[in-house]
Amino acid sequence: MSVVLNPYLGFAGNAREALEFYQSVLGGELTISTFAESGMPDAGDGVMHGQLTAPGGITLMASDSPTPVEARAESSITISLSGDDEATLRRYWDGLAEGASITEPLVTAPWGDTFGMLTDRFGTAWMVNISAAG
């Protein structure tokens, strides 16, 4: 059983450039999915999800925000907790959910995992993803 904590960084249209830079610095394997590839052609080739898995257990994730830059902060971060330790991750979710604004409830997602998003009472955004048994 495992739990992984890694940052999920938000960018205003330059996520691909940032991830490629991080890869040049940290090494590792980079995967990128665009909005268009994910069935959202109006969003173009912006990064819907990018992940850099580097040596030493370093994982960075990032995406381009579909929200206009004027409508959001200069930068953002969402803390992503993921793994297959369901009991621990559900305990984290339950604790974080106290007084939180739930964006997406912790339920089975289209990709088969259990996924939820919330903003805790202090304004920090979190995602929890529990890997499907397989």
Residues 10, 7: Cα–Cα separation, whole Å = 10
Average pLDDT, whole number, for the chain?
85
Q: Which among 58-62, 77-81, 105-109 has the top mean pLDDT?
A: 105-109
**pLDDT reported for residue 4:** 80
Residue 130 has pLDDT above 60, yes or no: yes
Residues 58, 7: Cα–Cα separation, whole Å = 10
- The residue extents of the domains of the chain are 10-70, 75-134
What is the CATH topology of the domain spanning 75-134?
Answer: 2,3-Dihydroxybiphenyl 1,2-Dioxygenase; domain 1 (3.10.180)
Residue 26 has pLDDT above 80, yes or no: no
**pLDDT reported for residue 72:** 53
Between strands 3-11 and 58-64, the pairing is: parallel
Overall average pLDDT of the 39-44 stretch: 74
